[in-house]
Amino acid sequence: MRTNEDSPSWVEQLVSARIGIGHAITRTPSRAGEPRVHLCSVEAAPLGPLNSLPPRRNCGGAGLTPEEALRSALGELLEGYCASFMEPKNILFGTYRQLRNHHEVIEPERFALFSDRQYARPGFPFQRFSDDAPLSWVWGYSLVRRKPILLPASRVYMPCLTRPGEADIGHTLSTGLGAGPSRERAILSGLYECLERDAFTLFWMNDLPVRRIDLRGASRATPAGRVFLEHLAVPGHEYRAYDITHDLGVPTTYTILSCQTFQGPLHVVGAASRLDGSQATLKALLEAVQGKPYVLWQLQRHAGWKPAADFSNVTDFSLSCMLYTAVRELTPHLLGIDQRVSAELTLDALPRWEPTDATTELEELVRRLEAQGYEALVVDLTTPDIRSLGLTVVRVVTPELQPLHADHRWPFLGGKRLYEVPVRIGARAERVKEEQLSRYPHPFP
């Protein structure tokens, strides 16, 4: 999130041990022998109408300067805060079949949720999102149709307050939350995350081939190369970067950071999407560096934990992010991506997007989604107190894009893209069957 760096009063209005939406700020400056990246975390206060814990209890951020790291952490804080306020007066209750007679409503079949095979499994906890599923709905705005539209509230709020008899169509994730100094910047933040998770999940679940991005050949003559060499390339830290861009053509980079720690070898991943490929790569590298202390903490917190043979106890991101470090015999699967490299390219060879205004950048992303017949929905979550600071928080919902699951027991296997995109990009000759998808949990935090 970009904000005015010279706004101490703005920070003081958000973070306070007594009345802030954040309790305390912890700064971790870069240390000798470590990547020259600043880390920051903000402890979130209990929030929302139920005084519940926010979806992100500790909100973290990374940056090349202390200000960048603080802004990033505060952005996460704002997203969780605003997403927890579900105003009953803004909610309509009913089925798609009932509401479509009088309102513009998003079609249930657009959502990439679960497969017929999953719904038929005994004990499956979620209900099918059908035309007759009783749900709470909230007004959003379609960036494609350019008009207001109703969408399920459970895809928007965290936590989502449900009514008796309401269908549970699937767990809600934080993907698509975005904060910024303008509506356009906030939407871009949320939309890029949706695109990143879609690209990564398609790659991971299908074991797709990738192109390796050669970081060793980075040049100080380019902005991206200079940042990598001056801030990230330190002895003892090995970075792997891969181009996992797919049919939508939005550059997406997946990275793996490997290094030695007091707990032994550590492997942390990151990913990012941007219209500029080098910026996507730098963002993905920063995500990996930011995840290093978090994964170390999870290893301590879950000391002695072992996955079940079918990985059925990998039930949230805190476990998936440490899996390939905690279980050494699984590490080769994480690093085995090198065996699927189809080509190599430099940072300079990645697609470029000349810096421009946020409106033009957003229009380009929406154009690419619209060309595929996909939707992009936005719900403004900004609470009055946050709006008074000149900030905006939104939820972006992209129904057709492939979501990344948190619980390995319940992956989203009902989306068309999961099966069609590998064929569309020429990575497979025919659609895979559901049982042919990767059985290994993803490594995301």
Tens-digit pLDDT profile for residues 75-98: 999 999 999 999 888 999 999 999
Query: Which residue carries 């803004």 as its tokens?
Result: 90
CA–CA separation, 143 vs 147, rounded Å? 7
Question: What band does 4 get if pLDDT is binned at 50, 70 and 90?
Answer: very low
CA–CA separation, 302 vs 319, rounded Å? 8
**Helix pair angle (417-424, 183-206), 10° resolution:** 80
In sequence order, what are the residues at sequence separation of 6 or more whose Cβ sits closer than 8 angstroms to the Cβ of residue 314?
Answer: 307, 320, 323, 407, 408, 441
Measured in residues, the chain has a length of 445
The residues that bridge with 242 in the sheet, in sequence order, are 212, 254
Instruction: For 22, list phi and psi in degrees, rounded to 5.
Output: -120, 140
Tens of pLDDT, residue by residue over 310-350, are 999 999 999 999 999 999 999 999 999 999 999 999 999 99
pLDDT at 51 over 70: no
CA–CA separation, 345 vs 374, rounded Å? 30
Predicted pLDDT at 50? 52
Q: Are 327 and 309 in contact (CB under 8 A)?
A: no
CA–CA separation, 56 vs 53, rounded Å? 8
Q: Are 350 and 243 in contact (CB under 8 A)?
A: yes
What is the sign of the dihedral through the CA atoms of 130, 173, 182 and 381? Answer: positive
CA–CA separation, 96 vs 127, rounded Å? 14
Quote the pTM value: 0.95
